Amino acid sequence: MKKHIIEIEYSEVDSINNLSNEDAYLVAKAREVANNAWAPYSNFLVGAAVELENGKVIIGNNQENAAYPSGLCAERVALFAANAGYPNSAVKTIAISAFNKKGHVQEPVKPCGSCRQAILEAETRFEKPIKLLLDGANSIYIMEGIASLLPLSFGKRDL
């Protein structure tokens, strides 16, 4: 038996003020739209802002439903809206932010498995990595592509 270790690479900043203007704008948008999430059951409000290569910014937030799991995460809401409205424009960056009953989550929020897979599909579709900005009150993680969060992914090459 062989043992393998998978390492991931990401950058971290301690404040939105230490991001580029473009990235800071996306994180601020994700924070803003999180406040409009429909999350009466979990009280976990998530917002996502997607920047496309054409310069458009598409927003999304989580939408819960009493008939769980009929709701949808913020990341997929934003990605699917981007693909529907701008099917020929690749996603450049996605910023994700979250709040709970205590306020802004302390650690950077991470996408769930389904959202990671949807981000992978968006990367595969245009054959370009998507920058991820994972926002938390204590820090923001910056990742250059979903492989950092989904290193042993399943995609079209596996079919």
The 10s digit of each residue's pLDDT in 114-148 is 999 999 999 999 999 999 999 999 999 999 999 98
pLDDT of residue 158: 81
Helix, strand, coil share of the chain (percent; to 5): 30, 25, 45
pLDDT for position 159? 83
Looking at domain 11-149, its CATH superfamily turns out to be Cytidine Deaminase, domain 2 (3.40.140.10)
Q: What is the pLDDT of residues 59-92, one digit of tens each?
A: 999 999 998 788 999 999 999 999 999 999 999 9
12 is catalytic: no
Residue 60's φ and ψ, nearest 5 degrees, are: -160, 155
Question: Given 75, 107, 123, 127, which residue is catalytic?
Answer: 75
pTM of the model: 0.95
Indicate the pLDDT class of residue 93, thresholds 50, 70 and 90.
very high
Enumerate the domain spans of the chain.
11-149
- pLDDT, residue 95, reads 98
